[in-house]
Structure 1
Amino acid sequence: MIIKQSQRTLCGVLGAVTLLCGFNQNASDAAEQHPNVVLFLVDDMGPLDTSVPFLTDSKGHPERYPLNDFYRTPAMERLASHGVRFSTFYAMSVCSPTRTSIITGQNAARHRVTQWIRSEENNRGEFGPPDWRWVGVQDPSVTLPGVLRENGYRTIFVGKAHFGPLGELSEWPTNLGFDVNIAGCSWGQPGSYYGLDGYGDIKGNKRRAVPHLEKYHGTETFLSEALTIEAKKQITSAVEDKKPFFLDFAHYAVHAPFQSDPRFASHYKDSGKPKNAQAYATLIEGMDKSLGDILDHLDSLGVAEETFVLFVGDNGSDAPLGSVHEHASSYPLRAKKGTHYEGGMRVPFIASWARPSQKSSVQKRLHIPEGAIQQQLGTVMDIYPTVLAITGTQPPADYTLDGTDLQTQLEGHRNSSRDEKFLMHFPHKHRSSYFTSLRDGDWKLVYHYRPSDNPAKTPYELFNLAQDPFEKQNLADRKPQVLSRLMATMTASLQEQSALYPVDADGNEMVPKAP
């Protein structure tokens, strides 16, 4: 179901952000065949960490919750008013699996990067599968940037990579299909957000110092701002060289450490929230300013009408509010990143042309309704086939994709042919440990390989998300037939994707056991 956002809510935003700019005819001609693509990826941001309401009521209308009124994200409001946002969009529950799924179009169960990657040593955990892909994917011929580069795109990476450990090819984005890499490396958090700290090189966690930004060391330039400046330079260079570009702009924000961005601290000092939650909110607002600056820059270069923008988070929220499995940091969704509940794997997703235009020939090939909400689910695996379709790029021969082309849904329709399932396989120890979850229509199953390692202390959790969207009532004992059906579907999916399982104390695979 598609619901248009109310004119009352968004007309002020539209009027405030409309910009006049010159039109670059050369860029326009190039875009006839190759529209630009900006993938704006935010770390650890859930769907409630914004002033844009992503959740909907029973009639499909956007519903605001208290957290929507705490955070300030006017640029996200602007982007949402120009395009379509998804009320239910799934990522893996931690970062490296999601980032790998985005550039491969495959589920983590298939590509086998099933855990966040520790840079210095294999972190499979005591009972994790010995052969999980700690080294990350290493074949640029099948990655999204690699395929686009072969099709004439300049492929640009800015920000957090976290694709592989130290010393492996996957440590650096330039080995995975990107022409340009700024600030991307093995680790998944910054040594510091402060330029005065050298982003960890001068002060802070020096083992996690952000590379390539020496020109900002000793200045008051916040990390999110430095990355934005560099991203804008790369966009300008591609436009001047008349090259279509794919920009993967992956912010380190809003990952810990939760250091306050002084540009926005005053907005939250009287909120009544803890200091670290206020700092988290400033990271959100700084990220949002970055989004607005990129949109403005595209406008100023005259390429906004030919630039397709995707905004997405890499896993559920890590806001420092409440304990891990409570209805708190992602309220009303349950739990936070690294868990098997909806708050751990639901993320914000918006797709839009940077500047909508009915006159744009490239937009006629994909007409995105403005201010729309798509209620049919989507996943991070869908980004790969969608970008290829929009850019007119063929996937590699004989390559398996788990994602679905989103174009039908982006145009405001329901895709009757898409599989209404999402498999999340995590055979490691973390906040939620050794589990596989399956969303299948209205139902959600969670299977625990080691029940004693999880708060539920049971092998099975079963929720009807249509009736219980916030996962308060486990129906596993009351719906045995549904439980058996979903277990069979989950097991078959894992087998089809050649998933790796946790192991017991003797090293034997712990395959799922039917009830």
Structure 2
Amino acid sequence: MCLKNRIIWYFALITALTVHGKHNVTNPRPNIIIFLVDDMGIMDTSVPFFVNTKGEVEKHPLNDWYHTPNMERLAKLGTRFSTFYAQSVCSPSRISILTGQNAARHRTTQWIHPIVNNRGKFGPEDWRWEGIENTHKNLLSQRLKSEGYQTIFVGKGHLGAIGTHAEEPLRLGFDYNIGGNAWGSPGSYLGQDNYAHPKKKNQVPHLESYHGKPVFLTEALTLEANKKISQAVQADIPFFLEMSHYAVHRPFIFDKRFKSKYTSNIYSKEAQKFASMVEGMDTSLGDILNHLETLGIADNTLIFFMGDNGSDAPIGNPHDIASVAPLRGKKGTHYEGGTRIPFMVAWAKPNKNNRWQKRIPIVQGAINQKLGTIMDIYPTVLDMLGLEKPHDYSIDGHSLYLILTGKKDEARPNDFLMHFPHEHRSSYFTSYRKGNWKLIYHYFPEMNPAQERYELYNLSNDHDETKNLYQKEPKILAYMMTTMLEKLEAENALFPIDKNEATLKPFLKK
């Protein structure tokens, strides 16, 4: 081999070891934090996410009600999305994060009741109440663990029912689990209550050292997360942390650290409690950001901030324009307020000299209007780290890498399928957005407020979904129905059944 070729080979080898090695002391892979907030919608923050028809960012009264200075800090550090979607309830979204698959495909299409199968009277019998199956080998946590990451789970699990494989995050590729089990809400947020309800079994586990102490659950989980971050840094291992807060899920309890800020003649006592819990969550974000700075690893840590479904703020009725105003609906509904979530990605500290930030130069202080979904996180992380997608495994999400770095992604799809064959605030529906058009199909029209089988909205000029155009736009309705059904079939979706146990598939009336 000639000298020139040897030099080329040497530098190629060094590059490969640096980029693809499991851990490299000089250029370690970036740490990754998924900061997941339960039941937080896009208006539950002082950071404006809403963009009007002119493409302008708009603040609304709810943005002035909440105080989230650390979300504001993160927004300046990176890019936030105005139109980012999750499932309408929690367990399906949480499994989508780890699998990269839509709920229609992974089949946990309803929140998981920890004790009884809550498929509903007409729900499909084969839906995955058990959560993530025990044969799964391609979870994001499993993949990162195999690449040398220390994998840490802190907070709410809700990935499987009691007694199932997925009840325990340690079986899902995580090295550590603090607080995660089958329950979707804490018995209490108060350390004085030992984070338990006196008559229920949903005590948050692994927090015995805080029992009897005046430490709010959100703070306790943050303290434990920071301990695990320190341990990973001391061991010189890159870490993946899923910081999965129980907040701001019910029960609504004042976080007394912030209670005095939320007194109002407009908002109820329950809404005031909710707002204090939002600020407690925000303080957790700030505490983690500060801890990363103290440890000197902020510039090598990526943060993905998101909710898991639409807002559950106790303001107004579920299908009203209220808790997510100016959008309609809230958690558990088929309207935009039920599925739009806050989503931001940022380096915890900008550093133009950091090698990974040169490779992934996330645009700072930007708001992106491209449609994104919670399934996109999985392929985005793999793309950022230069890892191949698993073979013979379906991923419904698409990488956000190009968008986050300020480039165009012409090949990126512009649609979102939300399939919910169960009972909740909105029951037995499939919604499908493509471009500016949104279709909602009702399997039982009599169960929805519109009392119609079809709802068709042009979101470009009807963001509050008040002008149902399905009768005026039959060609668009037909196109949307055809495309939606193709997506459902491609993802091998399960459908509701009727009283005779016959499968109900979407159809277009002639």
Same fold per TM (> 0.5)? yes
Q: 2:487 aligns with which of 490, 493, 496?
A: 493
Identify the match of residue 356 of structure 2 among 362, 370, 377: 362
User: Which residue identity lines up with residue 342 of structure 1 in the other structure?
Assistant: E
Query: Does the 8 A contact of 1:55 with 1:63 survive in 2?
Result: yes
1:413 deviates by 3.1
- Superposition TM-score, scaled by structure 1 size: 0.93
Mapped partners of 1:142, 1:300: distance in 2: 34
1:56 match: 51
Q: Which amino acid aligns with 2:190?
A: Y
Given residue 88 of structure 1, which amino acid in structure 2 is its aligned partner? T
Letter in 2 for 1:162: H
1:257 aligns with 2:251: yes
> Do residues 214 (structure 1) and 208 (structure 2) align?
yes
Q: Is the 8 A contact 1:85 1:372 kept in 2?
A: yes
Shift of 1:391: 2.2
Are 1:104 and 2:99 an aligned pair?
A: yes
User: Residue deviations 1:197-217, cap 9 Å, x none?
Assistant: 0001xx545321111101100
Counterpart residue number, 1:65: 60
- DSSP 3-state at the match of 1:425: strand
User: Could you report, residue by residue, the CA deviation over 1:62-111 in whole angstroms, capped at 9, with x for unpaired residues?
Assistant: 11000000000000000000000000000000000000100000000000
Q: How far, CA to CA, are the matches of 1:279 and 1:135 in structure 2? A: 33
Tell me the SS of whatever aligns to 2:192: helix
SS at match of 2:305: strand
Residue number in structure 1 paired with 2:16:
none
Deviations 1:12-40 (A, max 9, x none): xxxxxxxxxxxxxxx99548352110000
CA deviations on 1:278-297 (whole Å, 9 max, x unpaired) are 00000100000000000000
**Pairwise CA distance, 1:45:** 0.1
CA-CA distance at 1:271 after TM superposition:
5.5
The answer to whether the aligner puts 1:330 opposite 2:294 as a matched pair is: no
Shift of 1:467: 1.1
1:48-447 paired onto structure 2 within 5 Å: 48-138=43-133, 139-200=135-196, 203-204=197-198, 206-270=200-264, 272-447=266-441
Is residue 78–residue 345 contact of structure 2 (8 Å, CA) maintained in 1?
yes
Unaligned runs of 5+ residues in structure 1 are: 1-26
SS at match of 2:432: strand
Contact 2:23/2:237 (<8 A) preserved: no
Q: C-alpha distance in 1, partners of 2:105/2:50?
A: 30
Per-residue CA shift, 1:463-515, capped at 9, x if unaligned?
A: 00011111111001100000000000000110111100000111110011113
Shift of 1:415: 1.6
Question: Quick one: distance in 2 between partners of 1:84 and 1:454?
Answer: 36
Distance in 2 of aligned mates of 1:32 and 1:486: 48
Q: Residues 306 and 353 of structure 1 are in contact (CA less than 8 Å); yes or no, is this contact kept in structure 2?
A: yes
Between structure 1 and structure 2, the one with the greater Rg is: 2
1:373-394 Cα deviation digits (max 9, x unpaired): 1000110000000111122333
**2-structure distance, mates of 1:509, 1:414:** 42
- Return the letter of the residue paired with 1:280: F
Question: What amino acid is aligned across from residue 156 of structure 2 in structure 1?
Answer: K
Q: Secondary structure at the match of 1:436?
A: strand
Q: Which amino acid aligns with 2:128?
A: R
1:23-42 paired onto structure 2 within 5 Å: 30=25, 32-42=27-37
Letter in 2 for 1:421: D
Residues 352-409 of structure 1: CA distance to partner in whole angstroms, max 9, x if unpaired? 0000111111100011111001000110000000111122333322111000010111
Distance 1:31 1:145, change over 3 A: farther
In structure 2, the residue matched to 1:449 is: 443
Task: List 4+ stretches of structure 1 deviating above 4 A.
Answer: 27-31
Separation in 1 of the partners of 2:240 and 2:213? 29
Query: Measured at CA, do residues 241 and 417 of structure 1 come closer, stay the same or move farther in structure 2, by a change above 3 Å?
Result: same
Structure 2 counterpart of 1:104, which letter?
A: T
Counterpart amino acid of 2:220?
A: A
1:141 to partner: Cα distance: 1.5
Identity over aligned pairs, percent = 55
Question: CA, structure 1 residues 428+276, in 2 after alignment: closer, same or farther (shift >3 Å)?
Answer: same
Distance 2:488 2:427 in 1: 17
Residues matched between the structures, number: 487
**How far has the Cα of 1:324 moved from its partner?**
0.5
Aligned residues of 1:195 and 1:221 also touching (Cα < 8 A): yes
Unpaired segments of 5 or more residues in structure 2?
1-21
Distance 2:352 2:420 in 1: 44
Separation in 2 of the partners of 1:377 and 1:91? 11
> Does residue 471 of structure 2 align to residue 477 of structure 1?
yes
CA distance in 2, matches of 1:383, 1:341: 23
Could you say what secondary structure the match of 1:489 adopts? helix
Distance in structure 1 (CA, Å) of the matches to 2:25 and 2:253: 42
Q: Distance in 1 between matches of 2:136 and 2:105?
A: 17
Q: Is the 8 A contact 2:23 2:148 kept in 1?
A: no
| Letter of the structure 2 residue corresponding to residue 418 of structure 1 | R
Deviations 1:110-132 (A, max 9, x none): 00000000000110000000000
Q: Which moved more, 1:467-476 or 1:186-195?
A: 467-476
Provide the rounded CA distance (Å) in 1 between the counterparts of 2:244 and 2:144.
18
